[in-house]
């Protein structure tokens, strides 16, 4: 394959610019989410009504299941 070096460099530069632009867009989206004024109000909804909140007793076995899922996820990431 005889592709001129200048073309390859231009492609790499374009991909790098696209990657940076996507990263910036993601960071800006995260910033907008972090500044969401409704987050505090949403988190406070459960405070006046603790009887409406679920507990571990409502879902027997869930704690063990979620712990196992987290361990499997960690193990899978370490073997990549």
Tell me what pLDDT residue 64 has.
95
Average pLDDT over residues 10-35: 92
Q: Domain locations in the chain?
A: 1-48
Q: What ranges in the chain are assigned the alpha helix state H?
A: 5-34, 38-44, 62-78
How far apart CA 67 and CA 80 sit, in angstroms, is: 21
To the nearest whole percent, how much of the chain has pLDDT over 90?
A: 56
How far apart CA 37 and CA 16 sit, in angstroms, is: 34
**pTM greater than 0.85:** no
């Amino acid at each position: 394959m005889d592709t001129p070096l200048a073309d390859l460099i231009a492609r790499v530069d374009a991909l790098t610019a696209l990657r940076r632009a996507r990263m910036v867009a993601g960071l800006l989206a995260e910033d907008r989410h972090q500044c969401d004024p409704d987050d505090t109000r949403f988190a406070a909804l459960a405070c006046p009504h603790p009887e409406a909140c679920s507990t571990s007793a409502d879902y027997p076995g869930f704690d063990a299941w979620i712990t196992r899922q987290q361990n499997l996820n960690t193990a899978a990431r370490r073997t990549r």
